[in-house]
């Protein structure tokens, strides 16, 4: 699917509102160690909204990314596919999700899934999971 087609699914106003909402979530991130808040706002195939932030731990390796926080939450409520995923953080450019999160996003995405990467200044780019994770290993390979 072309990015122009993806963009048509959301109005500029909707994108702006989702980005504001995601940026408002940053204050809830638990990041005493990295001081790097990340937030992920997910809309599922039923139009339901889920929220996640990164949650760190004194045992550093146990910290969980915002994306891998929100996806299991949504799955627990019956989410089958991600329709929109907005990810934000304090990067100068739109945030780039980590490799582990790309793999987990892939599991619950399809060609319709719209991913909006953004930052506190509301600079954003829209992409598909295949752009973020080309030549992915997924459920279809098993």
67 has catalytic annotation: yes
Q: Which positions touch ligand THU (CB under 6 A)?
A: 31, 34, 36, 38, 54, 56, 63, 65-67, 97-98, 101
Q: Which of 14, 21, 45, 67 is catalytic?
A: 67
Q: Is 118 exposed, middle or buried, given 0-12, 13-18 or 19+ CB atoms closer than 10 A?
A: buried
What residue has token string 């030549």?
135
CB nearer to ligand THU: give 47 or 92: 92
CB nearer to ligand THU: give 24 or 34: 34
CB nearer to ligand THU: give 4 or 59: 59
Cα-Cα-Cα-Cα torsion 121, 2, 103, 15, nearest 10 degrees, comes to: 30
Kindly list the catalytic residues: 67
């Amino acid at each position: 699917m072309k990015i122009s087609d993806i963009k048509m699914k959301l109005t500029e106003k909707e994108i702006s509102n989702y980005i504001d909402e995601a940026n408002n979530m940053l204050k809830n991130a638990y990041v005493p160690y990295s001081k790097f808040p990340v937030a992920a706002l997910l809309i599922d195939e039923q139009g339901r909204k889920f929220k996640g932030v990164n949650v760190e731990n004194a045992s550093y390796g146990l910290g969980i990314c915002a994306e891998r926080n929100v996806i299991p939450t949504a799955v627990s409520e019956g989410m089958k596919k991600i329709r929109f995923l907005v990810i934000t953080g304090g990067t100068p450019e739109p945030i780039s999700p980590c490799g582990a999160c790309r793999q987990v996003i892939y599991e619950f995405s399809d060609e319709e899934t719209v991913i909006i990467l953004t930052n506190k200044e509301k600079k954003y780019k829209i992409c598909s999971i295949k752009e973020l994770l080309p030549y992915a290993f997924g459920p279809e390979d098993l």
